[in-house]
């Protein structure tokens, strides 16, 4: 059952100057399909099967129906899954990932428009010694501007595997790099503590920031804590994949995360949706 939440002002969820900003006014109308009226977003990453079958995504339509039931604001998925699950997604936001080995700026935006996308996404790797993909991001940003299509940049310092590079300083640099390349909003790591992240990442970047979830936590309450910390630091929301789609109940996990994001609920309160003893 979908929970109905009373959504407070954006300032209620954060700390410091970043938390005092008003909900953003987007130049590109499609972003209002990704972000809720309070300027925050619960986005479910459902692109994990792009290289083959993935846990939680075997039945694509069922997976999407579950997160929609739980109150997800949008999903991030592949072109194929976007086409296959259009009916299940109904009116929620759609972000189409354009990640590939080759530059997609010459066809990706038009393809996404035909799929009904509200935004496109590209992963890039600032600091990578062999391929940052930043040139692809700049070309894609120019193409998105031609079509008025929102662009979500996912700048990962060096690589997903090199976790030692995922420091607050490097995440801040990566976020600003994505913004300067022409993105409309960003998906980056959350690296605590809250106050340092707010000052180094959020306050130093003029775009809405969504925080990624990474590998599934052993205890789903830990995912709620990570979401809560990111929101307190001034993030506009989260993009969680495995922490939602592999959960015992993806719908209940979305309900719990939505209460943290949109209602500013404490972790203990939100965890009641999981039917677990906290």
Rounded CA separation 91/268 (Å): 31
The answer for residues whose C-beta is within 8 angstroms of residue 19's C-beta and 6 or more apart is: 10, 11, 13, 198, 232, 234
pLDDT at 2 over 50: no
Binning pLDDT at 50, 70 and 90, where does residue 193 land?
A: very high
Instruction: Write the pLDDT tens digit of every residue in 212-253.
Output: 999 999 999 999 999 999 999 999 999 999 999 999 999 999
pLDDT given at position 42: 98
CA 168 to chain centre: 18
Average pLDDT estimate for 61-80: 98
Rounded CA separation 149/232 (Å): 29
Instruction: Write the pLDDT tens digit of every residue in 100-155.
Output: 888 998 899 999 999 999 999 999 999 999 999 999 999 999 999 999 999 999 99
Rounded CA separation 41/37 (Å): 9
pLDDT given at position 6: 40
Tokens at 40, concatenated: 């925050």
User: Quick one: fold of 10-267?
Assistant: TIM Barrel (3.20.20)
Helix (H, G, I), strand (E, B) or coil at 151: strand
CA-based end-to-end distance of the chain:
21
**The pTM of the whole model exceeds 0.85:** yes
């Amino acid at each position: 059952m979908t929970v109905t939440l009373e959504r407070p002002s954006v300032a209620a969820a954060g700390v410091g100057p970043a938390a005092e900003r008003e909900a953003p006014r987007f130049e590109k109308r499609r972003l209002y399909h990704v972000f809720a009226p309070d300027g925050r977003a619960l986005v479910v990453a459902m692109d994990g099967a792009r290289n083959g079958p993935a846990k939680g995504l075997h039945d694509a339509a069922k997976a999407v129906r579950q997160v929609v039931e739980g109150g997800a604001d949008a999903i991030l998925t592949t072109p194929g899954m976007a086409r296959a699950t259009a009916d299940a997604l109904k009116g929620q936001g759609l972000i189409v990932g354009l990640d590939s080995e080759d530059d997609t700026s010459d066809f990706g935006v038009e393809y996404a428009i035909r799929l009904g996308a509200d935004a496109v996404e590209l992963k890039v790797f600032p600091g990578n010694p062999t391929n940052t993909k930043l040139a692809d991001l700049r070309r894609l940003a120019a193409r998105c501007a031609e079509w008025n299509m929102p662009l979500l940049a996912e700048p990962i310092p060096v690589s997903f595997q090199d976790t030692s590079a995922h420091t607050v300083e490097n995440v801040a640099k990566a976020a600003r790099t994505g913004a300067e390349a022409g993105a409309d909003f960003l998906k980056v790591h959350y690296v605590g503590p809250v106050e340092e992240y707010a000052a180094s990442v959020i306050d130093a970047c003029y775009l809405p920031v969504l925080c990624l979830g990474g590998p599934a936590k052993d205890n789903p309450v830990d995912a709620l804590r990570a979401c809560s910390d990111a929101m307190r630091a001034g993030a506009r929301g989260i993009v969680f994949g495995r922490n939602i789609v592999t959960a015992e109940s993806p719908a209940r996990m979305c309900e719990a995360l939505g209460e943290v994001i949109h209602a500013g609920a404490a972790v203990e309160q939100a965890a009641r949706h999981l039917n677990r003893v906290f």
